[in-house]
Amino acid sequence: MDADQERRFGDWLHEHGIEGRRRVVRATAEGILVSKFEPGFAAHLHDVLDRVAQLLDAAAVAAHYRALAGADAGSARVATWHQAAVALLARATETGIVSKDEAAEVEAGVDSVAALLDSVLWSGPACGADWMPSAAEQTAFAEALERMDDANSLFTRHYGDFEGAPVENHCPGARVARRLLEQAWTICTAATEAATPTLPA
């Protein structure tokens, strides 16, 4: 974009109620991709995620989940998964693997995944309950995954069209969020603590 286009685009964003600076990552006739973050943020985020690899290790999170569930069988399964994931982040902070600010960046994504799964598992199962997800909950989960993969991804925000070009903002951690959602579903939908969790076909 040239200076005049940038000025018009800035005015357009403001007119559409979009507050705060948006950096233009790519601008073509097919669309404009913007970001809230400075250049290099996505690479930095993935570097942080590499350093907290246990968060993406389903076995490690499941082990922590089972320990928490054993201590409080009445706790909600989704909340317990969330607590287990956040505890692993806290441990990484305490040992100096990541800073508090870096952990907070990742925790924001964990919070979003937990909120999404909570909306899918609306029956709110407790850790100690003899429970299986309903057919409707399984369908809702499958649809959530589809919405992460398609052009109208849950992690893509559409601002509208600027001079004929669609304007979008993609979450830099969308792929990791999808992986975390699958992990959380697998852990939270186990029939019992000893059962082997499975994803729906």
Percentage above 70 pLDDT, the chain:
91
HSE-CB of 137 using CA atoms within 13 angstroms: 18
Taking 50 as the pLDDT cut, the residues of the chain under it are 192-201
Q: Residue 201: its pLDDT value, please?
A: 40
- Give the chain's mean pLDDT: 86
CA–CA separation, 41 and 25 (whole Å)? 12
pLDDT at 90: 94
pLDDT of residue 197: 42
- Model confidence pLDDT, tens digit, residues 20-79: 788 888 888 888 988 887 777 778 888 998 899 999 999 999 999 999 999 999 999 999
Number of C-beta neighbours around residue 5 at 10 A: 14
How far is it, in rounded angstroms, from Cα 84 to Cα 63?
A: 9
Residue of 26, 23, 27 whose CA lies nearest to 35: 23
Nearest to 55 by CA among 197, 151, 184, 192: 184
- Is the distance from CB of 33 to CB of 168 less than 8 angstroms? yes
How far apart (Å, rounded) are the C-alpha atoms in residues 196 and 184?
13
Residue 48 burial by Cβ neighbours in a 10 Å radius (0-12, 13-18, 19+):
buried
Q: What is the reported pLDDT for 168? A: 87
Q: What is the pLDDT of residue 153?
A: 62
Question: Structural domain boundaries of the chain?
Answer: 40-153+172-188
CA torsion 201-53-144-116 (nearest 10°) is 130
pLDDT of 102 reads 92
Q: Are strands 165-170 and 156-162 parallel, antiparallel or unpaired?
A: antiparallel
Let me know if 120 is exposed, middle or buried by CB neighbors in 10 A (0-12, 13-18, 19+). Answer: buried
